[in-house]
Amino acid sequence: MIELKTPAEIQRMHVTGRFVAEVLSEVGRLADVGVNLLDLEHHVRGMIKRRGAESCYWDYAPSFGRGPFRNVICLSVNDAVLHGLPHDYMLRDGDVLSADLAVSIDGWVADSARTVVVGTAAEEDLRLIRATEEALEAAIEMARPGNRLGDISAAIGAVAADYGYPVNTEFGGHGIGRTMHEELHVPNLGRAGRGLKLRPGLTLALEPWFARTTGRIVYDADGWTIRSADGSRTAHSEHTIAVTEDAPLVLTRRESEGPVSRADSAGRLSVKDA
């Protein structure tokens, strides 16, 4: 069942979305050479606790995972792209880090992801990240009343094709609102003019993700972390959006998207900060 949200309910989701955006901005600021993924995880735990929010990932146990998930943020490095389990790993110069976060505040959920480069950025990594960001913006632009779900998927696929990246359709966007995953799967590849007609009040998490040279995926032994099947690098961009009578409303937009390279970062995270 698809639940259309009222303007007041969308505003409550927007409150959550602003917090998610704040956390991801902080993760991007702190991600630096020598920072441990576990320190980032514990720093985010502290932010969630202080805000009185609830993690949507903690105890998450879908059929595809080896659950329950016992972390509050997904941190995926290089060829890992989705559901990355934070573990004892020190970020290295040139690493590509994707951070994905979903939380609930007062019963309303928002979900977002971003990818940054740690330290010195290779142009091919920046290009891959730009592709996911452009695909996300193209998808958001199609989230208007009267358009169809396939228009969103087709917009993502068109950007991937322009860049020459393959697309995986096993994992994509989804409905969102009172829970992290609601009705509607939003593939990252589709046919324009097909699928559900979009109506005001529809809330979606749109999340294009690409690997450089493959559309196939493999799972780590941890049962969660998803990687490109050929080891090529990956990137992931996601926003929670609402279809309105006017323009699409991005509920997780960061105040400043900032550079995708972390080369100029001045902040380091230590265990005492977490």
- Angle at the Cα of 256 (from 255 to 260), degrees rounded to 5? 145
Other beta carbons within 10 angstroms of residue 218's beta carbon come to: 13
Residue 83 annotated as lining a ligand binding site: yes
Known binding residue 123? Answer is no
Q: Tally Cβ neighbours within 10 Å of residue 70.
A: 11
Helix 149-163 × helix 123-141 angle, to 10°: 160
**What does residue 259 show for φ and ψ, rounded to 5 degrees?**
-70, 150
Residues 24, 3: Cα–Cα separation, whole Å: 27
Q: At a CB cut-off of 8 Å and minimum separation 6, what does 77 contact?
A: 37, 84, 89, 91, 95, 96, 97, 98
Which parts of 83-216 are beta strand (E)?
96-105, 108-117, 173-175, 182-186, 203-206, 209-211
Q: Is 207 annotated as a binding residue?
A: yes
Give how far Cα 271 sits from Cα of 26, 35, 38, 87, Å: 16, 9, 9, 14
| Residue positions forming the annotated binding site for substrate | 83, 181
| Residue positions forming the annotated binding site | 83, 100, 111, 174, 181, 207, 238
| Residue positions forming the annotated binding site for a divalent metal cation | 100, 111, 174, 207, 238
